[in-house]
Structure 1
Amino acid sequence: MAVIGSYLKKHTEALVKDVGIEPACTVTGKSKATLGRYYSDNDEHSDRFMPIDAVAQLEQAASYPHVTAALAELRGITLNFEDRRNSTGRKGGVNADVIALAQRFAMLMAEYQESMEDGRISVNEAKRLLKETTMLQQVLVDMKLNLEEESD
């Protein structure tokens, strides 16, 4: 359970930081301290998690459903993230997706190479790798959606 709790706390932190701490307080009606406790890895807060209604409120305001995606990953489920609220989704079809995929993968590999220069991955380096991995995942989702659209 400790590994799952730590995993969920990291994604809860990503969610709060995606929205921004001040806006997250406004959206949820919770204080900075309370939100911080939800993703704190201190032993005294190990059994404290964000309520699901607060997660739903924050994910509505976030660019990506961090906690929902983490829960799905823990169950081995792949989500199909189709948030196109801002109508600025990339156009160009599969060819543009392949190019974006290659670029994102190159960025991930560059980040990995830089992280491994000293032979170990620090917490901050792991966070940067996680961010790049998430961006790569979003490109793959876009590519999947374009392939599905083209096959109709």
Structure 2
Amino acid sequence: MSVVGRYLKKHIEALVKDVGIEAACELTGKSKATLGRYYSDYPEHADRYMPVDAVAALEEAASYPHVTAALAELKGIQLQFDESRRNAKSSGGVNSDVIALSQRFAMLMAEYNQSIEDGVISANEAKRLLKETLALQKVLIDMKLHLEDETV
């Protein structure tokens, strides 16, 4: 199997596990065995990939567009993922921003702690840290905008 094939299958597996196997079966109308074949690295399943409509259905339910991001990375394209589902906009102003900021910072530190546990930060761990850092930056920008609104 090609390197690209293995890479895509790894992200298909991450997508299915993100949604949960039972939910993935329900959303796609596929069996557990069929979904497993889509990310299996056995030679007999090397040419099996998840159909794009199934990917779309699962990514709608997932916390992150695993396969779409993988395809973009293969083409050297960077996606900007809107984290607003995690940091829902609130009208609480600066107080809500401070709470969101502390929560985001805690998530970044937890991710860092998990990443550095073995003494090495892998490429995937670095990507997760970057994702959390960008989410933290977004909260800071929201806070800045709220503070500017209050000073006018």
Query: 1:133 maps to which residue?
Result: 127
Q: Deviations over 1:86-142 (max 9, x none)?
A: 76369638x938x946962x55554454335xxxx9xxxx7xx73673364244156
TM-score, length basis structure 2: 0.70
RMSD: 3.6
CA gap of 1:82–1:12, structure 2 versus 1, over 3 A, is same
CA gap of 1:34–1:136, structure 2 versus 1, over 3 A, is same
Within 5 Å, which residues of 2 pair with 1:3-152? 3-82=3-82, 84-85=84-85, 88=88, 92=97, 96=101, 100=104, 104=108, 107=110, 110-115=113-118, 130=124, 133-134=127-128, 136-141=130-135, 143=137, 147=141, 150=145
Query: Are 1:80 and 1:141, in contact at CA under 8 Å, matched by a contact in 2?
Result: no
Q: Deviations over 1:48-90 (max 9, x none)?
A: 1100010000000111100001111111111111253476369
Query: Are 2:27 and 2:58, in contact at CA under 8 Å, matched by a contact in 1?
Result: yes
- Deviation of residue 32 (structure 1)? 0.2
Q: Report the Cα distance in structure 2 between the residues aligned to 1:24 and 1:16, rounded to whole angstroms.
A: 6
Q: Report the Cα distance in structure 1 between the residues aligned to 2:112 and 2:140, rounded to whole angstroms.
A: 25
Q: How many residues align?
A: 139
Query: Are 1:108 and 1:132, in contact at CA under 8 Å, matched by a contact in 2?
Result: no
Q: Report the Cα distance in structure 2 between the residues aligned to 1:32 and 1:103, rounded to whole angstroms.
A: 32
Query: Are 1:101 and 1:140, in contact at CA under 8 Å, matched by a contact in 2?
Result: no
Q: Report the Cα distance in structure 1 between the residues aligned to 2:79 and 2:43, rounded to whole angstroms.
A: 31
The unaligned stretches of length 5 or more in structure 2 are 91-95, 146-152
CA gap of 1:36–1:13, structure 2 versus 1, over 3 A, is same
**In structure 2, what residue type is equivalent to 1:92?**
D
- Please state whether the residue corresponding to 2:78 is helix, strand or coil: coil
> Sequence identity, in percent?
51
TM-score, length basis structure 1: 0.70
Moved more, 8-17 or 74-83: 74-83
| Larger-gyration structure (1/2) | 2
CA gap of 1:19–1:42, structure 2 versus 1, over 3 A, is same
